[in-house]
Amino acid sequence: MLSGPKGSEEAPVLQCTVCGRESMLVELPGRTEKYCLEYSADVATVILLQSEIDAAALAGKHVDGLVAEFAQLSNRLLGQAQSA
C-alpha cells in the first residue's frame, strides 16, 4: 500500500523546496529539504559559500568577494523561485 495524505492510498507528491515543481528531487548532505536538479547545484553552491565565508572570517581574511558572490546567487535563486 502506498502512503499519501491521511486517508488516501496515493503516492505522496514530491516538490522542490525552492520552486515547488514536481520532479525528480535531490537530497543534499546535511539537509532535510529536497531540490529539483535545476536548483540543487545552486543550493549546494550557497551552502559551500556559507562555509567558505565563515572559515575566511574566522581566519581574519577579507570576505567581501565571497559575500558579494553569495548575495548575487541568493538574489538569483530568490528571483527564480518567485517567478516559478
The pLDDT, as a whole number, for residue 1 is: 44
Q: Within a domain: residue 18?
A: no
Q: Within a domain: residue 8?
A: no
68: containing domain? 25-83
Look over the chain and give the mean of its residue pLDDT values, rounded to a whole number: 84
Residue 70 pLDDT greater than 70, yes or no: yes
Transcribe 27-78 into DSSP letters: E-TT-S-EEEHHHHHHHHHHHHHHHHHHHHHHTT---HHHHHHHHHHHHHHH
pLDDT band at 2 (very low <50, low <70, confident <90, very high): very low
Stretch 54-61: mean pLDDT = 96
Residue 11 pLDDT greater than 60, yes or no: no
Q: Within a domain: residue 50?
A: yes
Structural domain count of the chain:
1
pLDDT digits (tens, 9 = 90+) for 15-35: 988 888 888 898 988 889 999
